[in-house]
Amino acid sequence: MIIGRDYLLKKPAGPSAPKLFLDTKVVPFAVNVAGGLEVALDRASVRTGIRPSVILAGVTGVLSFALLRLLRNRNRMDDRSY
């Protein structure tokens, strides 16, 4: 492939529509949600006097346990249908 003399003078067309949507809608929304969760965790830590890492570990453990129970119950229900 040969690059012409005016290659550096050409202006690129810009980002594609999916990239533009991702950069302007999805990423800011995800950052706002993460920031809100961080603020909620900080406020809960201040009110309870428990370190944020302990609260986060506890919430993660409870959610993991609930998901595990849900999936096991679902598998049992599938086994009964046969």
Whether residue 54 is contained in a domain is answered as yes
Q: pTM of the entire structure?
A: 0.64
How would you label 38-59 residue by residue, b for 16+ Cβ within 10 Å and e otherwise? eeeeeeebeeeeeeeeebeeee
Q: What is residue 8's predicted lDDT score, i.e. its pLDDT?
A: 67
CB atoms within 10 A of CB 67: 10
Outline where 1-82 has alpha helix (H). Answer: 17-21, 27-48, 52-80
So what's the pLDDT on residue 68?
95
Is residue 24 one of the residues assigned to a domain?
A: yes
Indicate the residue type of 20: L
The domain total for the chain is: 1
Domain encompassing residue 53: 20-80
pLDDT, the chain, mean:
88
In a domain, 9, yes or no: no
User: Is 71 inside any structural domain?
Assistant: yes
